[in-house]
């Protein structure tokens, strides 16, 4: 609380307090006899509010005066109030992972191809050592979507470069690995849960690095056949494979 000159408070049974619009109190702590009296408010879990402001002064029997005159204690309003002068947000809730989405088109992907995915958080975050973030994938024993890149204040993009002997039908992310990355919201709350949403956004992505099996050719007759009825040739192969043959 700031005055235009030195002011002293005295006479109360206890120190004065400000009531705040989130239901908490700021209690006088120092500055008595000067032009600035300081009040302290310690944030607790659940005190969240978008724009902190003072709603009332609890005098607790105190009076304020300069050397000769008692000061009428009226809270400033508008631009001179706490809410008008400062934009203070109280946020005690840690950010969470709100969604995981796939950027790449659905289909089958072979070795050497890339799949891109995006992780979105519940609020604006800052990320230290973003390169430490990884997505653990189900296409092998130690397979990750890596090269994490911040694409907005709420999203990170990952790249999965498919290698030989990696297969999944469909592809899925099993976990998020933070590694050296530290994720905080604007108030400094640290992301503590790395739980992914239950839905699998990779359900339309198949990772297939196995070479197709050789097609099987069967005839409707064996040995040498001389007949106008002809012989039926049946060619079968892996589902989805393109087979070319000639007789």
pLDDT score at 125: 97
The 8-class DSSP code of residue 111 comes to T
pLDDT score at 59: 97
Q: Where does residue 160 rank: exposed (0-12), middle (13-18), buried (19+ CB within 10 A)? A: buried
pLDDT score at 247: 59
The pLDDT of residue 239 is above 90: no
d(CA 243, CA 217): 11
The string of pLDDT tens digits covering residues 9-25 is 999 999 999 999 999 99
Burial 105-117 (b: 16+ CB within 10 A, else e): eeeebeeeeebeb
Residues of the chain above pLDDT 90, percent:
82
pLDDT score at 141: 85
pLDDT score at 192: 86
pLDDT score at 176: 96
pLDDT score at 36: 96
The pLDDT of residue 1 is above 80: yes
The string of pLDDT tens digits covering residues 85-136 is 999 999 999 999 999 999 999 999 999 999 999 999 999 999 999 999 999 9
Question: Mean pLDDT, the chain, as a whole number?
Answer: 91
The pLDDT of residue 217 is above 80: no
pLDDT score at 225: 58
d(CA 16, CA 11): 11
The pLDDT of residue 232 is above 90: no
Which 3 state secondary structure label does DSSP give 18? strand
pLDDT score at 211: 82
The string of pLDDT tens digits covering residues 137-161 is 999 989 999 999 999 999 999 999 9
The string of pLDDT tens digits covering residues 159-199 is 999 999 999 999 999 999 999 999 999 999 999 899 999 99
pTM equals 0.77
Say if CB 38 and CB 49 are below 8 A apart.
no
**Residue 246: partners with Cβ closer than 8 Å, 6 or more residues away:** none
pLDDT score at 227: 57
Tokens of 218: 């069967």
Say if CB 130 and CB 150 are below 8 A apart.
yes
């Amino acid at each position: 609380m700031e005055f235009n000159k030195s002011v002293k408070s005295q006479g109360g049974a206890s120190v004065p307090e400000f009531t705040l619009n989130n239901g908490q109190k700021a209690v006088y702590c120092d500055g008595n006899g000067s032009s600035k009296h300081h009040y302290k408010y310690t944030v607790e879990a659940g005190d969240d509010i978008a724009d902190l402001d003072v709603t009332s002064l609890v005098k607790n029997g105190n009076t304020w005066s300069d050397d000769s005159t008692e000061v009428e204690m009226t809270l400033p309003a508008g631009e001179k109030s706490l809410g008008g002068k400062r934009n203070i947000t109280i946020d005690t809730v840690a950010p969470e992972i709100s969604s995981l989405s796939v950027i790449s088109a659905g289909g089958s992907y072979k070795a050497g191809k890339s799949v891109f995915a995006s992780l979105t958080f519940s609020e604006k975050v800052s990320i230290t050592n973003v390169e430490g973030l990884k997505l653990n994938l189900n296409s092998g024993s130690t397979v990750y979507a890596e090269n994490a890149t911040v694409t907005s204040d709420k999203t990170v993009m990952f790249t999965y470069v498919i290698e030989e002997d990696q297969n999944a039908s469909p592809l899925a992310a099993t976990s998020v690995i933070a590694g050296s990355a530290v994720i905080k919201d604007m108030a400094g709350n640290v992301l503590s849960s790395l739980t992914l949403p239950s839905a699998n956004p990779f359900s339309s992505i198949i990772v297939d690095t196995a070479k197709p099996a050789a097609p099987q050719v069967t005839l409707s007759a064996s040995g040498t056949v001389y007949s106008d009825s002809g012989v039926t040739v049946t060619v079968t192969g892996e589902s989805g494979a393109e087979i070319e043959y000639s007789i």
